[in-house]
Amino acid sequence: MSFMVKEKSMALHFSCDDILLRQRAEDTLTRARALGASAAEARVSESVGQSVTVRHGDVEHIEHTRDKSLEVSVYLGRRLGCASTSDLSPEAVRDTVEAAFNIARFTAEDPCAGLPDTGLLAWGAPDPNLFYPAALENENLTCSAIENARRCEAAARSYDARIRNSEGASASAHMARFVLANSLGFMGGYPLSRYDLSCSVIAGEGAAMQRDYWYDSRRNADFLSTPETVGNIAARRAVARLGAKKIRSGVFPVLFPPELAAGLLRNFVHAASGGALYRKTSFLTEQLGARIFPEGFFLRETPSLPAALASRPFDADGVRTLERDVVTDGVLQGYFLGVYSGRKLGLPSTGNAGGCHNLSLKPGALDFPGLLREMRRGLVLSELLGDGVNYVTGDYSRGAAGFWVEEGEIAHPVEEITIAGRLQDMFRGIRAIGGDVEVHGALRTPSLLLEGMVLAA
C-alpha cells in the first residue's frame, strides 16, 4: 500500500500531508545548496499521541501531544553542522538551514563525516505497512482508551483478594510520519502507529507488600492483548511474589524469562554497536568471527517483519536494511553499524543507524517447566534493578528478585538479592534456550538458562 493511499485515514490524526513534508525537505536541500553546502540531509516529521491513566477507576491523567520537527545536517566538505526546529514555516526552514550552515563553518573537519555512498541508499523502498490508524474520531478514541484502562485495572484488582492497591493502568496511542531526504537525490518516508496497554498493582499479605506489572505494545491495536489479559498477568505476578524468603549466597544457575532475556540481548546489542566499538568502550571490540555464545545459539535480524515494532526499510542514514545472521552457532557474524561508525571502524554500514531491527533468537526444545527441571536448583528471575553493567570490562551486577527452585520446581519467592557475573562468561555460559518465545520491542526471545552466576543475599 502506498503512502498516498493512506492519506484519507491519516487525516484523522495528522495536520500535515505527505506533500507538505516532502516539500519542506526539498526546500531545506535547495536552501543548503544555495548557501554553498557540499551536501545536506533533512528529516521532516510529525507525530500525534494520546495517553490515558486510570487509578481506582478514576481518570488521573489524559495527555494529548502533537509535535512537528525539522532536523537539518549541512556539510562543508568534511565539516558538519546540525540544527533543528519545531516550526515548519518557510521562514523557519530558511533560518534553520542557515544556522546549520554557520555551525558547519566553525567545526573541525572529520574524515568520517558525510552522506552514505549512493549504492547503500534504499532507493525506491516500499511502504513497510507499519501504520494502522484507529478507526475512531479523537473524542471516541479517548473514551475507548479510558474504558480499556478501566477494564485492565478492574481485572487486576478483582483477580485476587490480596490485591490491595493499584498504581494505575494506562492506555496510549501514538502515530508518526516522516520524510528523510538528502542531496544525493534520496527521499523516503512512511507513517507508523503504536498502541500500548499497561497495568501495575500492589499485593499484600499481613505486613508484606509486593508490586508488579505487565504491558503489551503493538503496531496494530487489533492484535493488542485484551485489557483483562494484561490486568490478570500483572496481578498474578504481584501475588506470586508474596511470602518472599532469604537465600544463602553462592554460585547457582539463573533462569532469565523472555522479558528479562530480552534485556540481556540488549546488553549484547549495546556492546556490539558502532559507537561503543570505535570508542573502544566495549568488550566486543575486534571480536568479529569469534565465538561469544555457545553452539546452537542463532540470532537473526529481520527488518521486514509485517507490523513489527522494529521493522524498517531503511535506517536513520537512509541506508537499506537487510535480513542477516548476526550470530551463527555462537559465532559473531556482524556488528550494528551506521555510516559514521562503520567509517570509524573501516567497515561498511550494516543499516543499523538508530538501532537493531527485529532480532530473533532461535528457540530451543524445552518449555518453561522443562527449563526448571534442567536447572534443578537455582534462581528464576522476575525483576532486575539498577544499571550495573560495565561494557568495557563486561562486569554485570544487578539487584534482583525472583523465585527459588528446588528439585526442578519453584519453592518460594525471593527478594533483596544481587546477581553478578561478566557478560562474556554469561553469554558463553548459556546452558539451555527455551521454546517460550515472546516479543519485547525489537527482540523476540525465549527464556535463557545461564550456568553459574554469583548470588549475594
Q: Are 196 and 172 in contact (CB under 8 A)?
A: yes
> Residue 14's pLDDT band (boundaries 50, 70, 90)?
confident
pLDDT digits (tens, 9 = 90+) for 286-344: 999 999 999 999 999 999 999 999 999 999 999 999 999 999 999 999 999 999 999 99
* Confidence at residue 2, expressed as pLDDT on a 0 to 100 scale: 29
pLDDT digits (tens, 9 = 90+) for 156-179: 999 999 999 999 999 999 999 999
* Confidence at residue 143, expressed as pLDDT on a 0 to 100 scale: 86
Strands (E), 56-184: 58-76, 79-85, 163-182
* Confidence at residue 140, expressed as pLDDT on a 0 to 100 scale: 77
CATH hierarchy code of domain 4-240: 3.30.2290.10
* Confidence at residue 50, expressed as pLDDT on a 0 to 100 scale: 92
Sequence-distant (6+) residues with CB within 8 A of 123 are 186
* Confidence at residue 138, expressed as pLDDT on a 0 to 100 scale: 55
Q: Are 397 and 420 in contact (CB under 8 A)?
A: yes
pLDDT digits (tens, 9 = 90+) for 342-371: 999 999 999 999 999 999 999 999 999 999
Sequence-distant (6+) residues with CB within 8 A of 119 are none
Q: What is the 3-state secondary structure (H, E, C) of 208-243?
A: EEEEEEEEEEECCHHHCCCHHHHHHHHHHHHHHCCC
pLDDT digits (tens, 9 = 90+) for 69-124: 999 999 999 999 999 999 999 999 999 999 999 999 999 999 999 999 999 999 99
Domain ranges of the chain: 4-240, 250-456
The set of cell numbers assigned to 381 is 528471575
